[in-house]
Chain A
């Protein structure tokens, strides 16, 4: 069976499990909303301040939400040792990893779809005219966040202090991605917005590097 077909079967399983329980999505959306709302009260931002601080706040919210969401990604396969059943199945390890990545990308995108309009209203940031470009930045940033987060979720799932370990591993690795995502987003929030292609290129490069690394290392990531 092809890796794509196996990944599609496993992705359907991931989506069914999550939409049946809504454990990750509901907790993550509430958590991300709380962060954005709390910051809005703390700063009481004007439009100019929002343009200055908004991109950073937005991506910090995504990062915290992602840390919360990505942690159980592999950890919940430990409940009945279901990872053993997947590892015994005649499928590529990359199918297991990529299904998790795709599922996390979809969940994270849903969180962002809720969070960005709320952010726009609370922080008085107009998205008119930049929605398409903002979606491009969000997609590239989210790919990087979920690919890297899924890989480190696989690594940390065997550790006893995995809830602590994942952010410790993830945050330093994600620093270049966050800088690029914040700068690219900031270029869309200024007056006379124009997408900064340098940062977009860096985002795409980050995604390619980590996707390739995860493909090359998936055997080691999935093994015991």
Chain B
């Protein structure tokens, strides 16, 4: 596979990913049927499609949370293929916001972020965590248990957790779910900053979402296959407009 990495403004290399003939089967059910897709570093992909199209499964495979039944996933980093995939160095490059919050309800917001900051071996945890909480608007609730949070607050914290270690490949599965208008504005601003910084973003959604305007490419999945792809140099707007019309 050709090297596809770039270097961001901050000087940190971005991560690209390629899927080659990815097939995922759950028993007799095919969630993905031979997906081949090359995503270059720094791209912002809108992964579109109805429920059951295979978006979440593809993102979980990209996040190394699920293994494909058949096919190959490869990462590129600083013009090199990353081999093997499942290493701490690769995992440090990945961030994910999933359907669930991936947070502990019985820990406070600050304790959740501190836990993951420690697990990622981040420095300045005592500074980084309060900053992350302030940025996502949860500073005043830092010492509150997550179980006392509303859906939107949990989602903000989930996004803050995914961004805490500065991932270079961000995988977002319906990330705007539960966010109010203020939350959506903060989220769009955050994504815009990440895009300018050269972070590769793959965001799945089945509904209209302000953040989609940031997408540089749109890929439509249907029944586990790539139905449409605006391409690296193509214009994603017709596909995004179609989604909005459907919504």
Q: Hey, which bits of chain A sit against chain B, CB under 8 A? A: 1, 6, 9-10, 13, 16-17, 20-21, 79-82, 84-91, 223-224
Q: Could you say which residues of chain B place their CB within 8 Å of the CB of A87?
A: 64-65
Contact of B104 with A82 in the complex, beta carbons under 8 Å: yes
Chain B CB within 10 Å — which of A17, A86, A88, A90 has the most?
A88
Contact of A84 with B102 in the complex, beta carbons under 8 Å: yes
Question: B119 to nearest A CB, angstroms?
Answer: 4
Residue of B whose beta carbon sits closest to that of A224: B66
Chain A CB within 10 Å — which of B63, B67, B87, B121 has the most?
B121
Q: Could you say which residues of chain A place their CB within 8 Å of the CB of B118?
A: 9
Q: Does B101 contact A (CB under 8 A)?
A: yes
Q: Does B100 contact A (CB under 8 A)?
A: yes
Q: Could you say which residues of chain B place their CB within 8 Å of the CB of A88?
A: 63-65, 91, 94, 96
Contact of B88 with A16 in the complex, beta carbons under 8 Å: no
Contact of A89 among B91, B101, B105, B107 (CB under 8 A): B91
Contact of A80 among B101, B116, B120 (CB under 8 A): B101
Considering the complex of A and B, which 9 residue pairs feature the smallest CB-CB distances, nearest first? A90-B88, A81-B100, A85-B102, A90-B91, A89-B119, A1-B121, A80-B100, A9-B118, A80-B101
Contact of B106 with A90 in the complex, beta carbons under 8 Å: no
Contact of B119 with A6 in the complex, beta carbons under 8 Å: yes
Contact of B107 with A13 in the complex, beta carbons under 8 Å: yes
Q: How far is the CA of A142 from the CA of B83 in the complex (A)?
A: 40
Q: How far is the CA of A10 from the CA of B102 in the complex (A)?
A: 15
Question: A145 to nearest B CB, angstroms?
Answer: 25
Q: Does B70 contact A (CB under 8 A)?
A: no
Q: Does B89 contact A (CB under 8 A)?
A: yes
Known A90-B89, A90-B91; judge A84-B103 contact (CB<8 A). Answer: no
Q: Could you say which residues of chain A place their CB within 8 Å of the CB of B106?
A: 17, 20-21
B residues 80-97 touching A (CB-CB < 8 Å): 87-89, 91-92, 94, 96
Q: Could you say which residues of chain B place their CB within 8 Å of the CB of A85?
A: 102-103, 116, 161
Q: How far is the CA of A224 from the CA of B64 in the complex (A)?
A: 10
Known A89-B120, A90-B89; judge A17-B107 contact (CB<8 A). Answer: yes
Q: Does B42 contact A (CB under 8 A)?
A: no
- Known pairs A80-B101, A84-B96; list 11 more (Cβ under 8 Å): A10-B119, A16-B107, A81-B99, A84-B63, A85-B161, A87-B64, A88-B91, A88-B96, A89-B91, A90-B89, A224-B67
Contact of B104 with A80 in the complex, beta carbons under 8 Å: yes
Q: Could you say which residues of chain A place their CB within 8 Å of the CB of B98?
A: 81, 84
